[in-house]
Amino acid sequence: MDIQALVRKNILNMKPYSSARDEFKGTAEIFLDANENPYPSPYNRYPDPLQWRVKEKLAALKGVKPEQIFLGNGSDEGIDLIIRAFCEPNQDSILITDPTYGMYSVCAEVNAVNVQQVLLTPDFDLDLDAFPKTFDATTKVLFLCSPNNPTGNLLSTAKIEEVLKRFYGIVVIDEAYIDFATGKSFVQELAHHPNLVVLQTFSKAWGLAGLRLGMCFASEAIIRVLNKIKYPYNVNIRTQELALDALENVQQKEAWVKEVVKQRDVMGKALRQLSLVEHVYPSDANFLLAKVKDAHGTYEYLMNQGIIVRDRSRVALCYNCLRITIGTPEENQRLLAALKKYTA
């Protein structure tokens, strides 16, 4: 499979910006090449444009090469760059599931890229019969979110593999919530699929949403394209330092995940007991999707109690559904107590 053949011609042919730190990478005593302020602030120096120290740690953790990693200002940067690298404006399309995470279509629309949607099955899995009817010669990138937002479930691995077999464009699997899931990560499958991109993030399990650090794992050919078109210094020094600290302390992330998963089970059981709750969908993420009798009324009531959940009623297949993030045990009990009063 030839990745270069999928890249937009202007991007294939362009000469990327070359920063001072790209042109001289070694160590030296005196740096007078980047017009920086010489007085330590301590952020007077530009960051490493390719974040090699973070990537080396991450590569060891994920079992890939550092050259197979792209780091961006949140996963959102990766989503945007993938669309810009492979989709010609006013011509090409991305294919997404409905429902799914909102940023894929927003990034496509900003870039004048068409959005094709394929409805999930009633149990929120891929509809393999509908897929080939939806994509066509303009479809360059397919976004699959697993575990999916806002439905919370993993897509079936066998079905994702089937899609990977049948689709010759770029396949992006967004694994923002994979730490909370029991299923395997597709990062381990990269060697078999040169067109596969796996997205993960420091925003959820790692507890670093405020840092803005997203990860793309892919073949070296795809990562080279993303590096070519990114802003030269897209991840700042502080973010790189704090990501290194987090990667030194994987046990902290694992402890949080364990607690959240435990609370997810507690909350699932407790919510199912409430008469206003009609259904709680199974979740592989750090949130629950619950169908209630009156989502809008429940949302407004909770808001007046100072508790904010997400009303997903207007989303396909999610009529009257609230998306509830798992909080601390205390926060979760406050939510349950409020909901119990609402029913009474």
Least distance to ligand PLP, CB of residue 99, Å: 11
> Distance of CA 104 to CAs 100, 166, 270, Å?
9, 21, 34
Edge-to-edge strands, sheet with 321-325: 277-280, 287-292, 321-325, 310-311
CB 163 within 8 A of CB 129: no
Spatial distance between the Cα atoms of 203 and 77, rounded to a whole number of angstroms = 13
Of the two residues 87 and 213, which places its CB atom closer to ligand PLP in the complex?
A: 213
Of the two residues 74 and 268, which places its CB atom closer to ligand PLP in the complex?
A: 74
CB 247 within 8 A of CB 254: no
Least distance to ligand PLP, CB of residue 176, Å: 4
Spatial distance between the Cα atoms of 257 and 285, rounded to a whole number of angstroms = 10
Of the two residues 110 and 209, which places its CB atom closer to ligand PLP in the complex?
A: 209
Q: Point out which residues bind ligand PLP (CB under 6 A).
A: 74-76, 101, 145, 149, 174, 176, 201, 203-204, 209, 214
Least distance to ligand PLP, CB of residue 152, Å: 10
Least distance to ligand PLP, CB of residue 96, Å: 11
Least distance to ligand PLP, CB of residue 316, Å: 16
Spatial distance between the Cα atoms of 259 and 308, rounded to a whole number of angstroms = 21
Least distance to ligand PLP, CB of residue 180, Å: 11
**C-alpha neighbours within 13 Å on the C-beta side of residue 337:** 9
Residue nearest to ligand PLP (CB): 74
**DSSP letter, residue 278:** E
Of the two residues 66 and 214, which places its CB atom closer to ligand PLP in the complex?
A: 214
Edge-to-edge strands, sheet with 69-72: 69-72, 214-218, 196-201, 170-174, 139-145, 93-98, 114-119
Of the two residues 288 and 339, which places its CB atom closer to ligand PLP in the complex?
A: 288
Of the two residues 115 and 276, which places its CB atom closer to ligand PLP in the complex?
A: 115
Spatial distance between the Cα atoms of 256 and 258, rounded to a whole number of angstroms = 5
